[in-house]
């Protein structure tokens, strides 16, 4: 009897250890950033390309307020409502004490400094493709931004999605840092792919999601419903987006559609962010979009 | 008899519906202000086509479009925006009631368009790069007001 009990205990322990092994957060190696020098000026470009302000500034923030990353915006989803945290430079309420490695673990691995999984509403499924150099530069730029003491609000997520360890399984299934658009790309298209698939995380809105909320790589940028809204994030593949490259560049630069209506909804803030990039970057995005596989 | 009554009812609903559409509140104001908006768009389109390279830059035409844009942006429209002429009163408009609510900065946003159009008027006739530089300001002014005070298109 004792032997059976012992066997069962060992089995349970092995199972728990196995589960932990599968579900555990996997940060980068401690020396992952060795030799990388930070450049805050380049980091500002990463900041605008990455759209940090579009989620982490206050709702409807304009002008200088877009640089106060106090959090608080709410994101409804089928799994609950997520609330953007404070990532300002405040050492307690924000991420003022974070190292570049901490930011890299958050953005590329979805792992917090305490070793917990983040929900993929934080677009690490896209940022996973970012270069470590960009993260190091971004860290340096974020350190130049204002501190704000507003505390982060908890996410409003119910069982079973409130068990963060389960996200380890989600990551095993869906975290894939490979490029979606493959094949021979020229220099501009390659840069565009980086901006769209990695930093710009365009797919997070414009790609339809499966049952567990992962982006469907087979219907990449094919459009998706707006959570909590009536309309859809438009299809950006050549099957539907028939704008010329010049039209796309003009839209991303001035916010004017080819009919000279103005950009609407969440995209207005995206255009505002992209307006800080070099003209060649907006042209690169347009060039890339023409290479996406058409999907209805 | 039943069918007859049903037909009458259907016809009544139809006629009432048509009558409502004709007599929709603020129909005239909405039509006129949409016309002014369309004239602004028409002139922005001339500038935009040059900025994109769809048509060759022409200083004279660019200047004319910029002059027209500023004129159309500066018209006194107070008669066209009576309180309540919103998308709830008449679905032909996407104007939100927020325009007339306390704390509304619609006047400042309209002035921002005048400022952007003034900058465009100064820039459009110089050269293509100046025109392109000024177009973003115009776009920002359009977007800012539409995002704050226009219902999203569905």
What's the CA angle centered on A84, arms A80 and A86, to 5 degrees?
145
Residue A23: asked if its preceding bond is cis (omega within 30°), the reply is: no
**A250–B51 C-beta distance less than 8 A:** yes
Closest in B52, B138, B146 to A264, CB measured: B146
Buried (b) or exposed (e) across B5-34, using 16+ Cβ within 10 A? eeeeeeeeeeeeeeeeeeeebbeebbeebe
Percent residues over pLDDT 90 in chain A: 86
Residue A288 is predicted with a pLDDT of 98
CA of B5 vs chain A CAs: smallest distance (Å): 37
pLDDT per residue, tens digit, chain B (154 aa), is 555 555 555 444 444 444 445 578 999 999 999 999 999 999 999 999 999 999 999 999 999 999 999 999 999 999 999 999 999 999 999 999 999 999 999 999 999 999 999 999 999 999 999 999 999 999 999 999 999 999 987 6
Quote ipTM for the complex.
0.85
Give the start-to-end residue ranges of the domains of chain A.
34-178, 183-296
- C-alpha span between A81 and A83 (Å, rounded): 7
Tell me the whole-structure pTM to 2 decimals. 0.90
Domain A183-296 is found in CATH 1.10.760: yes
More confident residue, B97 or A230: B97
Contacts of A263 in chain B (CB under 8 A): 139, 143
Tokens read off for B8 = 């009458």
Q: To which H or E segment does residue B19 belong?
A: helix B2-22
- C-alpha span between A274 and A256 (Å, rounded): 14
**B138–A254 C-beta distance less than 8 A:** yes
**A268–B143 C-beta distance less than 8 A:** yes
């Amino acid at each position: 009897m004792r032997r059976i009990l012992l066997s069962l205990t060992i089995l349970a322990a092995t199972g728990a250890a196995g589960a932990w092994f599968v579900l555990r957060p996997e940060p980068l190696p401690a020396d992952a950033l060795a030799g990388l020098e930070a450049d805050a000026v380049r980091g500002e470009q990463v900041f605008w390309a990455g759209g940090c302000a579009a989620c982490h500034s206050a709702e409807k923030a304009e002008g200088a307020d877009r640089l106060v990353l106090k959090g608080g915006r709410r994101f409804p989803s089928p799994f609950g409502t997520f609330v953007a945290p404070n990532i300002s430079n405040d050492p307690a309420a924000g991420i003022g004490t974070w190292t570049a490695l901490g930011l890299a673990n958050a953005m590329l691995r979805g792992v917090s400094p305490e070793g917990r999984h983040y929900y993929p509403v934080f677009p690490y499924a896209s940022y996973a493709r970012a270069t470590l150099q960009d993260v190091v530069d971004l860290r340096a730029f974020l350190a130049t931004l204002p501190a704000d003491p507003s505390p982060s609000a908890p996410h409003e997520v119910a069982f079973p999605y409130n068990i963060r360890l389960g996200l380890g399984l989600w990551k095993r299934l869906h975290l894939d840092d490979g490029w979606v658009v493959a094949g021979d790309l020229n220099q501009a298209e390659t840069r565009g792919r980086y901006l769209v698939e990695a930093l710009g995380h365009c797919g997070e809105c414009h790609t339809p999601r499966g049952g567990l909320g992962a982006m469907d790589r087979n219907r990449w940028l094919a459009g998706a419903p707006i959570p909590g809204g009536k309309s859809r994030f438009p299809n950006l593949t050549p099957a539907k987006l028939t704008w010329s490259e010049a039209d796309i560049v003009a839209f991303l630069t001035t916010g004017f559609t080819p009919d000279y209506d103005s950009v609407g909804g969440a995209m207005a803030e995206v255009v505002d962010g992209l307006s800080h990039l070099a003209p060649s970057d907006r042209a690169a995005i347009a060039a890339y979009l023409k290479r996406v596989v058409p999907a209805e | 008899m039943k069918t007859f009554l049903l037909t009458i009812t259907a016809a009544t609903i139809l006629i009432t519906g048509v009558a409502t559409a004709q007599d929709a509140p603020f129909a005239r104001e909405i039509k006129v202000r949409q016309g002014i908006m369309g004239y602004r768009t028409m002139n922005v389109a001339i500038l935009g086509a040059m900025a994109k390279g769809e048509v060759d830059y022409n200083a004279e035409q660019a200047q004319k479009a910029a002059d027209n844009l500023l004129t159309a942006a500066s018209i006194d429209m107070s008669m066209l925006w009576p309180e309540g002429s919103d998308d709830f009163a008449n679905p032909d408009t996407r104007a939100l009631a927020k325009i007339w609510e306390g704390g509304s900065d619609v006047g400042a946003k309209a002035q921002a368009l005048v400022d952007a159009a003034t900058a465009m008027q100064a820039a459009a006739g110089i050269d293509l790069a100046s025109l392109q530089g000024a177009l973003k300001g115009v776009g920002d002014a359009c977007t800012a007001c539409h995002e704050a005070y226009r219902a999203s298109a569905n």
